[in-house]
Amino acid sequence: MAIEDDLFLSAPAVKAPGHEIGTDLSALSETEIEERIGQLTGEIERLKGALQKKRASREAAETFFKR
């Protein structure tokens, strides 16, 4: 095996970038747009969950320190 071959095998895979807000959508197919909507919907749900946890933590701290 050549040295060059080893370099390609050990290089990390490059992850395709997700949706970037404000990018041109005209080149995307309907399927690609639907996929992005699914990705963004999943991300919104993840953000909502994180927000709920943060709020619950803050409310618990406020309740504890009001005693």
Where exactly are the structural domains of the chain?
28-67
Q: Tell me the pTM.
A: 0.65
Can you tell me whether residue 18 is helix, strand or coil? coil
pLDDT of residue 2: 57
| pLDDT at 62 exceeding the cut of 70 | yes
- Chain segment 3-59, per-residue pLDDT in tens: 566 666 676 766 666 788 899 999 999 999 999 999 999 999 999 999 999 999 999
**Which of the two residues, 1 and 52, has the higher pLDDT score?**
52
Pick the closest to residue 40 from 54, 22, 56 (CA basis).
22
pLDDT of residue 18: 76
Cα separation, 52 vs 43, whole angstroms: 14
Per DSSP, 15 falls in state P
